[in-house]
């Protein structure tokens, strides 16, 4: 099998959302899905853990439970134990998740997560049967110093488990300086980094040419079409624009 899996449009809700308004947005998304029976991409929503069960129930109720996948925003490397406030990958699987984000720049920066910890979390995701979305990306200082490819390569080497493949791993390139700032790299910049990631994957993973590489970092309806047509961009990890169904759907349609 040589082709890659379908492109993935993933929404990372971060620490946003209450039950009532969140379910209203899910209802709006479901209405769009019922109007569009076939899509050329896979849809993933990663809400806060408090919303996983309500959203799962509403998706099923609206008849689109098979068309929208759910994911966690983080997981602990252990299966269980004395880890107050944490969730294991097995717990996320039990809650109906198919994916989990690991190593997001906000986790790396705010919680001091290292490549080694991200690697352990991705391995835990695989253990639980989840697909790990491994996030990588450089800071503004690293970019200005011309270190982008070096940083990305180092993070890949440290964060991607040995058993990674197209069936259990997605890479998300998110330049830290573009997340939530409204700034985005040029398509040529994105192409350069994604090409470097693809070369790394192809050299080190048996089916590395099939592993999906997402772009993230201020992806919005007005720039999604341009970014998502760049070579080696297999979808997007969307932040703030995923909170409103209309904005998220516009991004989905740009790749659908």
Indicate which CATH number applies to the domain containing 81.
Answer: 3.20.20.70
- Domain assignment present for residue 3? The answer is no
Domain that holds residue 161: 8-255
Q: Is the pLDDT of residue 171 over 60?
A: yes
Matching residue, tokens 């984000």? 101
The answer as to whether 90 is a domain residue is: yes
Looking at residue 37, its pLDDT comes to 84
Q: pLDDT of 37-60, one tens digit each? A: 889 999 999 999 999 999 999 999
76 included as an active-site residue? no
Give the residues across from 46 on adjacent strands.
12
**pTM of the full structure:** 0.97
**In this structure, is residue 95 part of a structural domain?**
yes
29 lies in a domain? Answer: yes
Give the phi and the psi of residue 159 in degrees, each rounded to 5: -105, -20
Q: In terms of DSSP bridges, do strands 213-216 and 8-12 run parallel, antiparallel, or are they unpaired?
A: unpaired
Residue 233 lies in a domain: yes
In whole numbers, what is the pLDDT of the chain averaged over residues?
Answer: 96
pLDDT given at position 2? 56
Domain count, the chain: 1
Q: Considering 76, 104, 126, 194, which one is annotated as catalytic? A: 104
Rounded average pLDDT over 103-120: 97
- The closest of 129, 127, 154, 151 to 140, measured between CA atoms, is 151
User: Which of 10-24, 113-127, 138-152, 170-184 comes out lowest in average pLDDT?
Assistant: 170-184
Q: Say yes or no to pLDDT of 1 above 60.
A: no
Residue 187's φ and ψ, nearest 5 degrees, are -55, -35
Q: Which of 106, 113, 138, 174 is catalytic?
A: 174
CB neighbours (10 Å) of residue 18? 11
What's the confidence (pLDDT) of residue 179?
84
DSSP state of 239: S
Per the domain annotation, does 1 fall within a domain?
no
Inside any domain, residue 117: yes
Tell me, yes or no, whether 2 lies in a domain.
no
pLDDT, one tens digit per residue, over 55-106 is 999 999 999 999 999 999 999 999 999 999 999 999 999 999 999 999 999 9
How far apart CA 119 and CA 102 sit, in angstroms, is: 8
- Told to judge if 106 belongs to the known catalytic residues of this protein, a careful annotator would answer no
- Residue 190 is predicted with a pLDDT of 97
**What is the rounded end-to-end Cα distance, in angstroms, of the chain?**
22
How confident is the model at residue 183, as a pLDDT? 81
**pLDDT tens per residue across span 124-151:** 999 999 999 999 999 999 999 999 999 9
């Amino acid at each position: 099998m040589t082709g890659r899996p379908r492109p993935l449009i993933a929404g990372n809700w971060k620490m946003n959302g209450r039950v009532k308004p969140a379910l209203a947005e899910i209802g709006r998304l479901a209405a769009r899905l019922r109007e569009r029976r076939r899509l050329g991409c896979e849809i993933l929503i990663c809400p806060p853990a408090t919303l996983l069960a309500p959203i799962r129930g509403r998706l099923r109720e609206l008849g689109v439970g098979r068309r929208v996948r759910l994911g966690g925003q983080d997981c602990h490397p252990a299966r269980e134990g004395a880890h107050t406030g944490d969730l294991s990958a097995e717990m996320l699987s039990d809650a109906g998740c198919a994916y989990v984000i690991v190593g997001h720049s906000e986790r790396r920066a705010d919680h001091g997560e290292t490549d080694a910890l991200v690697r352990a979390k991705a391995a835990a995701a695989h253990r639980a049967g989840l697909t790990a979305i491994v996030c990588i990306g450089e800071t503004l200082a690293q970019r200005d110093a011309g270190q982008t490819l070096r940083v990305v390569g180092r993070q890949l080497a440290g964060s991607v488990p040995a058993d990674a493949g197209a069936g259990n791993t997605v890479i998300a390139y998110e330049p830290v300086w573009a997340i939530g700032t409204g700034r985005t790299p040029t398509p040529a910049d994105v192409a350069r980094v994604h090409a470097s990631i693809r070369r790394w994957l192809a050299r080190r993973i048996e089916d590395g040419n099939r592993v999906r590489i997402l772009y993230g970092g201020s992806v919005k309806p007005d720039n999604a079409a341009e970014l998502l047509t760049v070579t080696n961009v297999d979808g997007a990890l969307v932040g703030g624009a995923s909170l409103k169904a209309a904005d998220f759907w516009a991004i989905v349609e740009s790749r659908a």
